[in-house]
Chain A
Amino acid sequence: MVEIRRYSPVSFKASAKRSEVRDNWKVVLEYEGEGKGPHLVDLSHMTRLDVQDANVGAITPFGVTIPEVPGESVLKDNVLINRMNRIQASVFCLDGHKPEIPKESAYTETTEVGMCLAIIGKEVFSILEKLSSLDFTDPARKAPFLFQGPMSHVPCQIITLSKDGAKSGVLFTASRGYGKDMVHAIMDAGAEFGLKPAGEEKFSSWIASL
């Protein structure tokens, strides 16, 4: 009898200390030896949506207003919304539980489209500059904000959620197929800074602190 399970596009070379099954995903809450950071967290199980409409600004996913300017993001009640262009926004539901997906045709669930990872800790931008030439520390950009650009040569959506020292962190998505190689590249870039995989709880407590 085959057990029905959902598999994340990424896996870490680390042992799960605590985990739970949620909507058929095995969600690791904590890994062995997570250390003090920086941390890489797999959030691929978290629900993500694409919202597209000619009048996308009038849509309020989960009651949150979509930012007006492309490149701007808003984080409210664990809902992260990123304005991508004139007609499109991406929505990340970051509380770890599957929400009721709005029925309107403007929404497309994109959870499965990509991997979703967070890198958190004060060395985040030192790690990122090894992977991308995007200007995450641009003083003119106020977090949270969105970049749609390459990381390790792969097109990504990268949201800088905080540039505040030890609280610094980004969240990003890229095509699911790149999961394995992307994790390899990030872990390699982060090795000199002690980057370690961490469970969902690390992310949850971090995002709650923002």
Chain B
Amino acid sequence: MMTRFNQLPTLRIDPTKKVIFNYKGKSCAGSEGDTVATALYANGVRVFARSLKYHRPRGLYSLDGECSNTCMEVDGIPNVRTENTLAKQGMEVKEQNVKGSAENDMMAFIDKLDWMMPAGFYYRTMHKPASMWPVAMKQIRKAAGLGVMSPDHVTPGKFDEIFPRTDVVVIGGGPAGMQAALAAADKGVRVIIMESRPWLGGFFDYRAAEYSKGKPLYSRARELAEKVEAHPGIRVLKHTSMVGAYSNNLVTGFQIGGEGDSFTERYVEIRANAVVVAVGCIERPLIFDNNERPGVMQVACAHRLARTYGILAGEKALFSVGHDLGLEAAIDLYDLGMKIACVADIREDGQNPELLLELAKRNIPVLKGWVVTKAHGSKQVKKATIATIDGTITRDFNCNVIVASAGFTPITGPLTLAGAKLRYDSHTNFFIPETLPEKTHIAGRMTGLEDSMAIEASGTLAGIKAAMDSLACTCCGSESASEGDSEGDSKEKSSSSSCCEACDDAALKAAEEALKALPGPSRGTKLVTAPVKGRKSFICFDEDTTIKNIKQAIEMGFDVPELIKRFTSAGTGPGQGGIPGHNLPLFVAKYEALSGVPAPVRPTTVRPPLVPTLIATYAGTNHIMMKRTPMDEMQRSDGGIFRKIGVWERARYFSDDFECKAEIENVRNNVGMLDGSTLGKFRIHGPDALKALQRVYTSDMSKIKPGRVKYSAMCNDDGCVIDDGVVIKIAENDYYFTTSTGRAGQTVEWVRYHTRYDGWDFNMVNLTDSMGVINLSGPNARKVLQKITDEDVSNEAFPFSAYKEFMVKDTIPVKAMRLGFVGELSYEFHVPSSYMVSLWNMLKEAGKEFGIKNFGVEAQNVLRMEKCHIILGQESEQRTNLLDLGLGFLWDRKKTDAKTVGAVALAQAEKDQTRFRLVGFKMENNGRAPKDGSLIVDDKVRGYICTARDSFSLNEAVGMALVESHMAKIGTRLEIFEDECGDQRIYGKVVPMPFYDPDGSRMKS
């Protein structure tokens, strides 16, 4: 293990606390605060992984997870970005995508076969012959890929979610972000600041350069961080990466839990009134031969490795940079003990003279207008070749680290996701927003600023603007001062406009003036590639895409970066385009311009998640929210087997016999009890309640008689049946009605929608959950009921289709209906839900001597099918109208008082002979029942099976089907095509309905 700095004031590790984890089966020690990659680096690991396609050795490059170089398997999870995953005690870390080890990978020979794999080779070679593709795919997957995960892998940890609301959300906890948060919070609004690293500070955090006299930048970072964290109006979400941005300032992200947090990771969904994006820049990778060889790293990577983690990246480094931060890093790393072979600066001029002076003081040679062209060394850098940017003169330097960076590029992903359109800015060589989405502001380095004071000032300005976006004017009702701004100045306001916080633009103007007085955006370097041919110069590390591949794609006619991205896969790996990022469009534009075909410079599209995370994080707590009836617990203890039906969990079976023979026979011969509580139940009252019922039901609802139940149906405007149920008149202008389970949630809106222009005075209350429902069915049902009530329930006093209200034991109010859905003597009791268990138990006790048993939804399904009673959704689909189902008798054609929903369509459909008809059928030769949904065919599809079962009551297979009307005639032979039946068909015959108790004597007696 190498010696580490343990006294630097910038350290984010605690060298006194050790973290021990396993790496390839051996114990490895890091310090608290180390990432897995920095701990491994401190232990001498330089080759972390092998690349996707060519199995090239890969090492630490960005330290911010911009590429897959350090993706490893951690605790069984592949593709973990170890450079920004904190090391924890006992972690199991393994290499991935290697045969042997990352250091000695037997698949490394593929690197020599790159000539066989030009751009898009798999698109062009793997489709002919088609039979070859599955074989080739299997082999390719064995050789390539990034990690393996078992399909039944359960991600360990606790995954949580929060949905905070705020006035201003600041994305980025660097100097600009922190200043924005403070400025906004000082205006009195609520602020959330998100920072992807575990601490605030951004690019000030690790730098020892002077901020102001005697104060280094890292001290300034900590000073600001303390202020932010102490501010009561600011909520700090550290270790929180943004992953998405959506309309109305909805920002999503995920937070990684730390010591003491109750979660491993949590999904964060923030709704804000205004957004400040201050995410800064990343370094634009410098492209040269072997630019991804272990030992090549970005400036901030080498600098942070030393300053944040106490590790010098190597003994001797060569710098090839295009910005002053590179010079600053070279000076600082030299002072920390690293030898600097040379600083090759892409820029011919424009360097900060003070930094040049400091480099000269240290005898570090600076070559202006030079660039690194090749890294030498098979598994790690041993030497670097540099050249003038025109490639005419070259020099070699021995070194084991190459610190390389072409320049900076703003992290525009958050803006693009928020809807900003980007344009190329030739001064900064940045893609900057042409317009910003409403109430979105940007600040900091991403605007091209490099001066520390200017960066902070831009944050203050953005924070004030965002706060003003959030504040409601309490004085003049005017628009906020920043409303409508893009990047520029605020509107001029009247001199009296400081009457409330929302209108007080004095602070805004002061912030604008302060920013104007400071240095503006700096000139950016334009170089993308060193003067190389590009066979081993990688523009995308994740997908092993070289400059040569890009040229090949362009030469094949792919002329825009978006297409080239897809054809070459550049930017589609786990780094989410971090490395190719803006280099790809810049290179394409430059190359095409050289070819004489200038093209507009446009970045490729980014999509969420900007930062990859676990699917488990998106799943969050994943509580299953289902409705349960009041009888749920008791039915489970009675052996109920439950299934999800819509929003409900219902007991479908009461034994392992899913044909439900015992349940069905018990209802037919004794008595059974079904929990029907999921039915929709409603009260509608008011002077115009009847008019509303007339509108939505097909029947004449004015004919509802007191003490009687009226069955009817609702159709949509196409005459298709959407619901059926019963209606009871409980008082003048006061009705109680039921709907099917699936329609309960939409019924109030349905009725309101279809009466929206009438101005009728009626009220509706959804009582679905309020009333439990017990269906008591079977020849012994009356005997059971008689035992719990003094009410006369004889057939004369309580006949079929009658309705009664009574009290059980003077306590439980019951609405009782005499119905017959299952074709037997049946009662439906509607009971206050809290009393359901008590009434159920009373019936159970009373029915003991009559053999009472539970029956479930499947038994009910068979019982009612035998009786040819329909269930909407089972015997109907979206196109099935009332007439198709043979329910035309429910449509009252004489209603004059109201227009009935669907009546016009039904009148037309009545003359249409081409529609489907519902028919009953039996199977030929006492055959088995076909599967539900099977097709009725001849030379075409002629219909389908709705429900069919082997009936125990009838001792034969029966069912209902929707068929073309010419096949509805009794005796028609039905040819049935079942799923995966091949050439085998089964046959049935259309028969009269209902199959069971055709005269209804059992349910009416």
Contacts and interface: CB of A to CB of B under 8 A. Distances in A.
A and B: interacting chains: yes
Interface of A: 2-9, 24-25, 50, 52-54, 87-88, 105-106, 108, 110-114, 129-140, 152-154, 175-182, 184-185, 188-189, 191-192
A176 B770 contact: yes
Interface string B162-190: 11110000000000000000000000001
Interface string B756-785: 000001011111111100000000000000
B97 to A, nearest CB: 37
A164 to B, nearest CB: 15
Contacts of B767: 108, 110, 112-113
Interface string B822-849: 0000000000111111100110010000
10 tightest CB-CB pairs across the interface, nearest first?
A: A177-B627, A52-B763, A192-B262, A6-B834, A133-B163, A135-B165, A176-B769, A112-B770, A113-B770, A185-B623
Contacts of A7: 630, 834, 836-837
B628 A87 contact: no
Given A106-B763, A185-B625, 5 more contacts: A3-B838, A112-B834, A140-B472, A176-B769, A181-B625
B517 interface: no
A50 B625 CA distance: 25
B624 interface: yes
Contacts of A4: 809, 811-812, 835, 838
24 contacts: A6-B832, A6-B834, A6-B835, A7-B630, A87-B763, A105-B731, A105-B734, A108-B685, A108-B765, A111-B770, A112-B833, A113-B766, A129-B162, A132-B163, A136-B165, A152-B623, A175-B769, A176-B770, A176-B833, A178-B625, A179-B628, A180-B632, A181-B628, A185-B623
Contact of B165 (A53, A114, A138, A192): A138
Contacts of A52: 685-686, 763-765
B304 interface: no
B245 to A, nearest CB: 15
Nearest to B732: A105
B623 A175 contact: no
Nearest to B271: A133
A12 to B, nearest CB: 14
B56 interface: no
B787 to A, nearest CB: 12
A164 B915 CA distance: 65
B308 to A, nearest CB: 30
Contacts of B165: 129, 133-138
A138 B472 CA distance: 12
B247 interface: no
B629 interface: yes
B479 to A, nearest CB: 18
A78 to B, nearest CB: 21
B623 A188 contact: yes
Contacts of A140: 472
A24 B811 contact: yes
B761 to A, nearest CB: 5
A7 B627 CA distance: 16
B621 A188 contact: yes
Nearest to A138: B165
B832 A177 contact: no
B837 A9 contact: no
Nearest to B648: A177
Given A129-B163, A191-B262, A152 B834 contact: no
A112 B628 contact: no
Interface of A is mostly: loop
B384 to A, nearest CB: 52
Contact of B624 (A2, A129, A138, A181): A181
Contacts of A87: 763
Contacts of A3: 838
B626 interface: yes
A56 B623 CA distance: 38
B160 interface: yes
B683 interface: yes
A54 B687 CA distance: 10
A181 B623 contact: yes
B265 interface: no
Given A176-B833, A191-B262, A50 B765 contact: yes
Nearest to B844: A2
Interface in B773-813: 809, 811-812
Interface in B701-751: 731, 733-734
Nearest to B688: A54
Contacts of B648: 177
B161 interface: yes
Interface in B666-695: 683, 685-686
B269 interface: yes
B761 A54 contact: yes
B729 to A, nearest CB: 13
A192 B257 CA distance: 13
B190 to A, nearest CB: 7
Contact of B627 (A135, A136, A175): A175
A31 B764 CA distance: 38
Nearest to A128: B163
Contacts of B160: 130
Contacts of B625: 152-154, 178, 181-182, 185
A175 B768 contact: yes
Contacts of A53: 686, 763
Contacts of A114: 769
Nearest to B263: A192
Given A110-B770, A177-B629, A181-B625, A137 B685 contact: no
Contacts of A185: 621, 623, 625
A140 B623 CA distance: 32
B733 to A, nearest CB: 8
